[in-house]
Structure 1
């Protein structure tokens, strides 16, 4: 399924306005005599009926896709501050791992950050637009193969930041330190490697993440994170399931 993006919006708008690009130039250039009018962009600017008629069919198509219901949440997926584990974070990380494992079954855990999740999902219908709002960025999935030492460094980052969205990894935070770290149900071994599903922003050092900068190997999967979420929710629905993510103690914070 294809989704509207800012770039695709600009393409159809340029075509509609009579602009086109040359074969070796990605920029649009006007044909004929160009004229310019300066408008003050504020509340006094009246709607232009001609322009509205121009874009309204595309807006209706976009609105229909964004409002399309693809799933149902049995409980609100929230991300309260000051807690190490959230329903929204668990849902997000579980979706990344499930989708990543379709292509790489030996991927054993996933990782994201709380700051990248822009909205909470309320109980009830989940639309395509909800998931665009949740992850509005152009981030793409990445498979990283990490050494055991890098996994431990990542766990220390998670502990120092009070917990982050993970799946397949479990740990305890004790006075800001990582303890009892397991991946796929087993203690982390420094001598082996582990395959992680995350996204390029974090793999490139975003959010000051630690442990991801020196992977044994890296594969860019070429799939937008929001497309992953849409696919995950849609397939749960096709299987007759609702989204019912719960807290399961994957990260515990000792006071």
Structure 2
């Protein structure tokens, strides 16, 4: 705990230094360490202050919004159950925002957790997508769609929906969008999130987009809406490995 206190003091000092316009150089005249352990009694006034917020937060996080028939695992494989659930939900939301959207794209690193079988809570969705990323719809040329496929082939496959991609020796062997080969003379609409659209996660094929539309809709909110909509229809989450991204050994 002592190291935590030292780090906290350092961060506070750094924040104050950055926020000042004057060029101040921090100095330490005397260092004193405090041991924080079970010998310290709980401050009832502080507990009383935050308890209502804690109860409200826990109530919302534990709210059940759906049900998954299987444990949706997050793996580094070309295709995973969690990835297919995630991108199917993203494609669903993208087509709500723009019916012309044909495909969705995420990365393995952006999906942060498995989704266990059974009840799905709001907290479970936060675990999968804890970031504040929002929905972005991009218009790409046929050429840049092929660059997307090359990116996925080089990186061992990435989460996607609306496609069929066959990879051999880190090269694209087959690439279909909505069941059809890419037409270099056509344009395509892809839904993703702002972090990737800005080049995050080493995404290098979105530097020449023909059009970009950013929405305030959070990815996390989209996942919740997708699960809730299935629940309204009396359906469960039933993600499967369907061969949308496959590597030939």
Q: TM-score normalised by the shorter chain: which range applies?
A: 0.7 to 0.9
Supply the RMSD in Å over aligned alpha carbons.
1.5
Question: Is it true that 1:67 corresponds to 2:62 in the alignment?
Answer: yes
**How far apart are 1:46 and its partner, in Å?**
3.7
In the TM superposition, residue 74 of structure 1 has moved relative to its aligned partner by 0.3
Ranges in structure 2 where 5+ consecutive residues have no aligned partner: 1-31
SS across alignment from 1:84: coil
The Cα offsets for residues 181-214 of structure 1, whole Å up to 9 and x where unpaired, read as 1111100111111000000000000000132121
- Higher-Rg structure is 2
1:207/1:124 CA distance change after superposition, 3 Å: same
The structural deviation recorded for 1:180 is 0.8
**Aligned equivalent of 1:49:** 44
**Cα shift at 1:42:** 4.1
Q: CA contact under 8 A between 1:172 and 1:253: conserved in structure 2?
A: yes
> 1:79-118 to 2 correspondence within 5 Å?
79-81=74-76, 83-118=77-112
Corresponding residue number in structure 1 for 2:178: 184
In the other structure, the counterpart of 2:242 is 248
- Give 1:49 deviation, angstroms: 1.1
Deviation at 1:252, TM superposition (A): 1.1
3-state secondary structure, aligned to 1:107? coil
**Alignment TM-score, normalising by the size of structure 2:** 0.84
Match of 1:78 among 69, 73, 79: 73
The range that moved more, 39-48 or 139-148, is 39-48
Shift in Å, 1:43:
3.3
Q: 1:52 to 1:218 in 2, by over 3 A?
A: same
Measure the CA separation in 1 of the matches of 2:123 and 2:244.
Answer: 29
Gaps of 5+ in 1: 1-37
2 CA distance for matches of 1:78 and 1:213?
Answer: 32
